[in-house]
Each structure stands twice: as C-alpha cells, then as structure tokens.
Amino acid sequence: GAGVSQTPSNKVTEKGKYVELRCDPISGHTALYWYRQSLGQGPEFLIYFQGTGAADDSGLPNDRFFAVRPEGSVSTLKIQRTERGDSAVYLCASSPGGRGETQYFGPGTRLLVL
C-alpha cells in the first residue's frame, strides 16, 4: 500500500511569498503530524491533527504558520510572508490512532526561501 506522500518534494520561493505544502497520509490513519527539520538538526514538532481538528498546535513558531485538514485525510501546511529562516525540510507523519504509536513519515518537502 501507499505510504505517506508529500508534495512538492522541493519548493524554492522568495522572501515574503506564500507557500502551501501538502501531505497525504496513509489511508485510514486518523493522526497526522507536521515536523520541521533544519540542516543538521533533529526534527521539531509543529502541529498534530486527530481527525479534522488540530489537537496540539503548540509547535507552530508564529501566526505566519497555519495548517488544515478539512476532511480528516489530506493536510496542508500554509506559510505566509515567508522568511529565510523558514528554510528547512518539512516532514509529515501519520499513525493509525495517535496515542503512543509508531509514526510513518513522508519523504519531506525541502523549502528554500531566497
């Protein structure tokens, strides 16, 4: 079966632009996570969805970042007024139910803000 997919795989944008990053979780997985990984660092948590609702958005760095999951499957991470410091690999993961389970990661979207 298909794993977690993310599009685009790479995104280059200019400072100040708006970007959307998409995540398709494994079919049937109710939990979906977004993480951000800067070069040479471990991933950092951004937001967690259980179904359609954001159960924990404590990792979003500021109000330029927003994520949705309107139908409880595909999720979109939206970044407004991008800054050079937003450059990173954005990782999505999903798990069947959420609590204390193995998470399955997508390949990531590499975002470069010029």
Partner 1 sequence: KNEVEQSPQNLTAQEGEFITINCSYSVGISALHWLQQHPGGGIVSLFMLSSGKKKHGRLIATINIQEKHSSLHITASHPRDSAVYICAVSQGAQKLVFGQGTRLTINP
The Cβ of residue 60 has, within 10 Å, a number of other Cβ atoms equal to: 18
Q: Which is nearer to partner 1, 14 or 27 (CB)?
A: 27
The residue from 51, 72, 96, 107 that contacts partner 1 (CB under 8 A) is: 107
Q: Which is nearer to partner 1, 14 or 42 (CB)?
A: 42
Q: Which is nearer to partner 1, 44 or 83 (CB)?
A: 44
DSSP 50-62: ETTEEEE-TT--S
Question: Per rule CB under 8 A, is residue 103 in the interface with partner 1?
Answer: yes
Phi, psi of 84 (to 5 degrees): -60, -30
Q: Which stretch binds partner 1 (CB under 8 A): 13-21, 60-68, 77-85, 95-103?
A: 95-103
Give me the 36-65 binding string for partner 1, x by CB under 8 A, dash otherwise: ----xxxxxx--x-x----xx--x------
The residue from 19, 88, 91, 113 that contacts partner 1 (CB under 8 A) is: 91
* Gap between the Cα atoms of 76 and 16, Å rounded: 19
* Gap between the Cα atoms of 112 and 101, Å rounded: 31
* Gap between the Cα atoms of 99 and 110, Å rounded: 28
Question: Per rule CB under 8 A, is residue 35 in the interface with partner 1?
Answer: yes
Structure-derived torsion over alpha carbons of residues 8, 14, 20, 23, reported in degrees to the nearest 10: 30
Minimum CB separation from partner 1 for residue 71, in Å?
A: 20
